[in-house]
């Protein structure tokens, strides 16, 4: 399949079916992702695959505590944006998705944030290629999750990606026209 078709088909999904994709498919996607370039080829990304129900529940609890606080201090623009999409502080997908892929970066590497997110771009396309739905969710209290996982301070939690089969029928959010974001010779 052409990459443009995969990229166009890929959309953010927040509701997942119970049945888990084969672990091998997830590993395939990590194999794609780890081919990404990185500053000094330091490959600062780490993937933690969580499928244990009790662990997912605890991660959900911690994130929701952070979300409740975050919803109180959210600016109006974001508050309207989430309201329109019926998004709330509840993060059911953290328990429902068969796998949570928690992605960390290593602060000791040059351009660790940039490199890791470039790698996440590879990862999302690979998931879509395998028909696996995903969402890049960044908890407002990422450090608390990291602490609960007992990780050394050099790791930064970049995002939690719940993955599984889509249980949601929705349109992809509209993208800008190419003329709005690409310019020739001068911006």
CB of 178 to its own copies, least distance (A): 6
Q: What is the DSSP track for 83-140?
A: HHTT--S--THHHHSSEEEEEEEETTSTTHHHHHHHHHHHHHHHHHHTT-EE--B--T
* Interface with its own copies in residues 2-31 (CB under 8 A): 2-4, 6-8, 10-12, 27-28, 30-31
| By the rule CB under 8 A, 110 interacts with its own copies | yes
| By the rule CB under 8 A, 35 interacts with its own copies | yes
Is the Cβ of residue 65 or residue 87 nearer to its own copies in the bound state? 87
> What is the dihedral angle through the alpha carbons of 37, 40, 42, 43, rounded to the nearest 10 degrees?
-10
Query: Are 99 and 20 contacting, i.e. CB atoms less than 8 angstroms apart?
Result: yes
Identify the H or E element spanning 49. Answer: strand 45-50
Size of the site for its own copies (CB under 8 A): 69
* Interface with its own copies in residues 136-165 (CB under 8 A): 136, 138, 149, 151, 155, 158-159
Query: Are 134 and 30 contacting, i.e. CB atoms less than 8 angstroms apart?
Result: no
| By the rule CB under 8 A, 40 interacts with its own copies | yes
Query: What is the distance between the alpha carbons of residues 171 and 11, in angstroms, rounded to a whole number?
Result: 8
Sole window of 14-22, 61-69, 90-98, 110-118 interacting with its own copies (rule: CB under 8 A):
110-118
Is the Cβ of residue 68 or residue 175 nearer to its own copies in the bound state? 175
For its own copies, the binding residue among 19, 24, 41, 73 (CB under 8 A) is 41
């Amino acid at each position: 399949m052409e990459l443009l078709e995969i990229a166009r088909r890929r959309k953010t999904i927040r509701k997942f079916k119970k049945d888990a994709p084969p672990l091998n498919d997830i590993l395939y996607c990590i194999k794609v992702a780890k081919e990404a370039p990185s500053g000094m080829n330091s490959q600062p990304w780490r993937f933690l695959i969580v499928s244990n129900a009790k662990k997912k529940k605890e991660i959900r609890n911690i994130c929701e505590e952070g979300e409740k606080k975050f919803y109180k201090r959210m600016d109006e623009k974001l508050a309207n944006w989430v309201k329109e999409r019926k998004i709330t502080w509840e993060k059911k997908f953290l328990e429902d998705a068969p796998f949570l892929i928690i992605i960390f970066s290593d602060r000791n590497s040059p351009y660790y944030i940039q490199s890791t997110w470039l790698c996440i771009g590879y990862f999302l396309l690979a998931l879509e290629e395998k028909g696996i739905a995903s969402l890049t969710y960044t908890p407002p209290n990422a450090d608390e999750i990291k602490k609960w996982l007992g990780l050394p301070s050099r790791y930064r939690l970049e995002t939690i990606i719940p993955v599984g089969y889509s249980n949601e029928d929705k349109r992809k959010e509209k993208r800008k026209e190419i003329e709005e974001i690409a310019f020739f010779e001068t911006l």
